[in-house]
Structure 1
Amino acid sequence: MYGASIMQDRDLNEYSPSRSISSKHISCSHQLCDLGSTCKSSKQQCPYTMNYLSENTSSSGLLVEDILHLQSGGEGVSNSSVQASVVIGCGMKQSGGYLDGVAPDGVMGMGPGDSSVPSLLAKSGLIRNSFSLCFNEDDSGRIFFGDQGSTIQQSTSFLPLDGIYSTYIIGVDACCVGKSCLKMTSFKAQVDSGTSFTFLPGHVYEAIAEEFDQQVNASRSTFEESPWEYCYTSSSQELPKVPTLTLMFQQNNSFVVFNPVFVFYGNQGITGFCLAIQPDDGDMGTIGQNFMTGYRLVFDRENKKLAWSSSNCEDLTLGKSMPQSPRNETLTNPLPTDEQQRVNGHAVAPSVARRAPNNPSAASSRMISCCQNWYCYLFLLFQLVSAFS
């Protein structure tokens, strides 16, 4: 299993293929070049264009191959460096949120598609086809490739989208606020660490927000630039007790949201808070990073399930449930050969973290840069079908 985390105060540098001795151009004939049919020559460098969920946000440029440096670990396994080949989209033209610095060190693709980082690591034989994420309350976190979780975790199955497991979708049976479980609050949601906050279908949002408003012991208020409707003032310098929010799944599995509110601070401490959920059009929701805080979330792609267990991101046990394969971890594992036949498929962009007032909390872009000395203004691409595209 391979894990990585970075410090939030680390200096970031733009990545340039010309300054990397290990970079290689990906030609239009490469099997991972989705736009190969648009090229004038098969030897031309492969282009990409991505239009993201955030309004008017896009990236276009050229694909390159380079080396991702990871650290292996686990019970009975000595720590060692692992070099793995990955696909990098070097952005030449950015728009929207990227011009505002939403992801200064890039976006890492973690979806099920062929060119995502977990897919390439699994296909090279380095890891089991699974990974876990952990977000702490201070917006730090860790990612572990090959992690299939612990024996005490709960889980729910991934659901196909149009018959294909092209993204991480789960089905919520019901929502509970405090001890009150609400009727007609079942919904499907995409689990997306690239979205900072959570969006729910309109009818589910209204039911949760109204029940939360009845149970919370605080006065309604508004905060400048807040995107949230249900906000409250704090009568003390500490956050008052807020109702719990629980997502219920099949077989009585439950997911208690540790962090359903966004807190506002002033010179004297906490000034207020908002229920950090917004309504979205349609019947599909998005489970964002704020719901993931306090958990070790396992994306078990082999068994097509999402699993979770409570974690502070420091107590992850690297045990036998997280095997590595193979053992020759110091070898560089190449991508498929450049001239192989392209596989039909369509790469759709991931969701970029939606902005929040003054603190976008886009921890995923800070955390998942994986033990490399260069941190990049780049985009690690993957095939991910967004329900909102």
Structure 2
Amino acid sequence: MTNFMALSHLLSVLFLLTTATTAAANTITIPLTPLEIKHASSDSYGYKLLNSLASSSLSRAQHLKSKSPIKTKTNSSSLSTPLSSHSYGGYSISLSFGTPPQLVTLIFDTGSSLVWFPCTAHYLCFGCYFPNVDPADISTFIPKNSSTSKLIGCKNPKCAWILGSEIACSQTCPSYMIQYGLGSTAGILLSETLDFPNKKFPDFLSGCSVVSTRQPAGIAGFGRGKESLPSQLGVGKFSYCLLSRKFDDTSVSSNLVLDMGSDSGNSTTSHVSYTTFLKNPTGADPAFRQYYYVLLRKIVVGTRRVKIPYRFSSPGSDGNGGTIVDSGSTFTFMEKPVFDAVAEEFIKQVGNDSRAPKEEIESGLRPCFKISGDKSVNIPKLTFRFKGGSKMALPLENYFAFYGNKSAICLTIVTENSVEPGISSTGPAIILGSFQVQNFYLEFNLAQEKFGFARKNCSGRQK
């Protein structure tokens, strides 16, 4: 109860806000930047971290597969920004909002659309004691310090982007509440200026959240909704390269590049494999319409093709089935029949006698294989084949992780298990997570409706 009392009090404080606008310019690049935190770089993972990432990936899958995540409570230019990886599984960027600009750190997310930030000096975050994250260090936006902060009015079409056209209200857009699997956030909608070093975007719709649970930063939504950053800025394509997880919580970052304007998506990048985005299911819940669906035709383990039932490989008109690309998921999720077929193929080719049952229980991952002492195993390659013939051949470190003192390695793909039972069978059947595409260049060509990828050393450093 106290959470909701605090929320209603803080929301009422926010209704005292008001005000103005700004202008435009040219080329922008955004670093995907980390929080400056000391972190022991390693190629292996303790069982607590693996278990935490597996659990959060399953919770994320449950959120993406559930419906209605948002509820109400009553000429060519290029932008780039740094992108950084964190031990709780996300990648972040820093953006400036307001006049004068205030810098806030946001989790980069292709699986949702609203851009929201922790807001006001009274921001509350419950359960935000993540590894290396102190809630007191969460960067917050202070609307009263910005001359361009304005509440979104009830009649403003942008209010309906988030809350639907059927809402009943008198003056300001009602407050929102969003569920994110592990956490949630609630607040009100603002019109604000998004400020890049040489280009400003006035009247940018953003969420001013005053209370959250288990959200260590705000969210930069890059999904397909009208309220997403790419949609509001008219981005023709965006691309990024996800750092290896060994750079979690370090000062190393890669770039997120936004290509603007009508012609920005008309060119393809050399050495990049492409597959087309599928049309989003029209009869599905609106929650499923913001995802980036691709057609994963085949999963190959070694030289053996794993059969994927058609109902899982292609989304139906109801939004069930199919594969989405989600930067907000850490480990790839597969519906149990798909996962079981993949896991069984690994077990068959590596050998059941190499299994590490204790490590499987502790990490929440399976299969795990023993590699300590004189024990050596040959792990087959994992390849995803997409519509159009493009092949994503994963390096071993993208689908198996060393466990603890390197006594075992575990498959970093998750499915419903005894720890996280009851995951919805609705929504996407396969969620391609960030762990599997670390050290890959990824391109979302919105103008040509294509998804591109290529192996790349994202840090620019020698491995």
Q: TM-score, normalised by structure 1?
A: 0.66
Structure number with higher helix proportion: 2
Question: Aligned-pair distance for 1:260?
Answer: 0.8
Name the structure 2 match of 1:363.
none
Equivalent residue runs for 1:110-259 within 5 Å = 110-122=222-234, 128-137=235-244, 138-139=247-248, 140-146=253-259, 150-163=269-282, 166-184=290-308, 187=313, 188-216=322-350, 218-223=354-359, 225-235=362-372, 242-258=379-395, 259=398
Equivalent residue runs for 1:1-389 within 5 Å = 2-9=29-36, 12-34=138-160, 35=163, 38=167, 40-42=169-171, 44-52=172-180, 54=181, 57-70=183-196, 81-85=198-202, 86-95=204-213, 98=214, 103-122=215-234, 128-137=235-244, 138-139=247-248, 140-146=253-259, 150-163=269-282, 166-184=290-308, 187=313, 188-216=322-350, 218-223=354-359, 225-235=362-372, 242-258=379-395, 259-265=398-404, 269-279=405-415, 281=425, 284-314=429-459
1:108–1:185 CA distance, 2 compared to 1 (3 A): same
Give the Cα separation in 2 of the matches to 1:226 and 1:19: 46
* Alignment deviations for residues 32-70 of structure 1 (CA, whole Å, 9 cap, x no partner): 11337545323x254222233x16x33221011333333
1:251–1:82 CA distance, 2 compared to 1 (3 A): same
Give the Cα separation in 1 of the matches to 2:414 and 2:339: 7
Gaps of 5+ in 2: 1-27, 38-136, 284-288, 314-321, 417-424
Question: Aligned-pair distance for 1:238?
Answer: 12
Other structure's SS at 1:251 match? coil
Q: Is the 8 A contact 1:61 1:91 kept in 2?
A: yes
Give the Cα separation in 1 of the matches to 2:459 and 2:375: 25
1:285–1:302 CA distance, 2 compared to 1 (3 A): same
1:14–1:210 CA distance, 2 compared to 1 (3 A): same
1:38–1:184 CA distance, 2 compared to 1 (3 A): closer
Question: Aligned-pair distance for 1:261?
Answer: 2.0
Q: TM-score, normalised by structure 2?
A: 0.56
1:234–1:93 CA distance, 2 compared to 1 (3 A): same
1:232–1:16 CA distance, 2 compared to 1 (3 A): farther
Structure 2: which amino acid aligns with 1:216?
V
Q: Is the 8 A contact 2:186 2:212 kept in 1?
A: yes
Other structure's SS at 1:29 match? coil
Moved more, 193-202 or 84-93: 84-93
Question: Aligned-pair distance for 1:115?
Answer: 0.9
Structure 2: which amino acid aligns with 1:8?
L
RMSD across aligned positions (CA) = 2.9
Structure 2: which amino acid aligns with 1:204?
V
Name the structure 2 match of 1:344.
none
Name the structure 2 match of 1:351.
none
1:227–1:70 CA distance, 2 compared to 1 (3 A): farther
* Alignment deviations for residues 175-209 of structure 1 (CA, whole Å, 9 cap, x no partner): 10122222346622111111111111222211111
* Alignment deviations for residues 205-237 of structure 1 (CA, whole Å, 9 cap, x no partner): 111111112333744233365232312333169
Q: Is the 8 A contact 1:170 1:191 kept in 2?
A: yes
1:239–1:191 CA distance, 2 compared to 1 (3 A): farther
Structure 1: which amino acid aligns with 2:408?
G
Question: Aligned-pair distance for 1:110?
Answer: 0.4
Structure 1: which amino acid aligns with 2:306?
L
Q: Is the 8 A contact 2:29 2:255 kept in 1?
A: no
1:20–1:284 CA distance, 2 compared to 1 (3 A): same
Other structure's SS at 1:120 match? helix
1:17–1:233 CA distance, 2 compared to 1 (3 A): farther
Other structure's SS at 2:363 match? coil
Give the Cα separation in 1 of the matches to 2:152 and 2:377: 54
Question: Aligned-pair distance for 1:163?
Answer: 3.2
1:60–1:248 CA distance, 2 compared to 1 (3 A): same
1:50–1:237 CA distance, 2 compared to 1 (3 A): farther
Other structure's SS at 1:48 match? strand
1:225–1:27 CA distance, 2 compared to 1 (3 A): farther
Other structure's SS at 1:270 match? coil
Structure 2: which amino acid aligns with 1:117?
L
* Alignment deviations for residues 78-137 of structure 1 (CA, whole Å, 9 cap, x no partner): xxx222343221222324xx2xxxx42211100111110011111xxxxx4211122111
Give the Cα separation in 1 of the matches to 2:194 and 2:291: 23
Give the Cα separation in 2 of the matches to 1:169 and 1:155: 13
Q: Which has the higher contact order (CA 8 A, sep 6+)?
A: 1
Other structure's SS at 2:436 match? helix
Structure 2: which amino acid aligns with 1:179?
T
Other structure's SS at 2:388 match? helix
Give the Cα separation in 2 of the matches to 1:219 and 1:104: 36
Q: Is the 8 A contact 2:356 2:408 kept in 1?
A: no
Matched residue pairs, number?
Answer: 289
Q: Is the 8 A contact 1:155 1:306 kept in 2?
A: yes
* Alignment deviations for residues 314-356 of structure 1 (CA, whole Å, 9 cap, x no partner): 56xxxxxxxxxxxxxxxxxxxxxxxxxxxxxxxxxxxxxxxxx
Structure 2: which amino acid aligns with 1:163?
T
Identity %, equivalent residues: 25
Give the Cα separation in 1 of the matches to 2:141 and 2:375: 42
